Amino acid sequence: MAAKERKGSRPGKVHHDSAKPDRSIGAAVNSAIKQGYVVGREVLVGNVPGLVVGYNIACFGSFVGNAYPLVVRTALGVTKCTVDEVRLV
């Protein structure tokens, strides 16, 4: 009995064979940097103050780097954010 071939995908997931995911992640990170979201910069995630501590370079999973390029530390913990979710202080 052969294994079942699966053709579906889950929302938010990026396949390993997708075309050049590193390039789009780099573009998202560079865009965030150009907008002023550099490591050490104070930001607000909604009303919660935080600090940019890094950049998300993940190319698979639920929170891929091209959609969530910023890694922010808040009093509630570390989170991955879009540029639209944060604002500069």
> pLDDT tens digits for 29-76?
999 999 999 999 999 999 999 999 999 999 999 999 999 999 999 999
How many other C-beta atoms lie within 10 A of the C-beta of residue 67? 16
21 has a pLDDT exceeding 70: no
pLDDT of residue 23: 76
Query: Which tokens hold the place of 35?
Result: 């907008």
Tell me the domain boundaries of the chain. Answer: 37-88
For the chain, what is the radius of gyration of the CA atoms? Answer: 16
Alpha carbons 9 and 33: distance in angstroms, whole number: 31
Q: Which fold has domain 37-88?
A: SH3 type barrels. (2.30.30)
| 24/5 Cα distance (integer angstroms) | 29
- The band of 86, judged by pLDDT with boundaries at 50, 70 and 90, is very high
pTM here?
Answer: 0.75
- Token code pair at residue 34: 């150009």
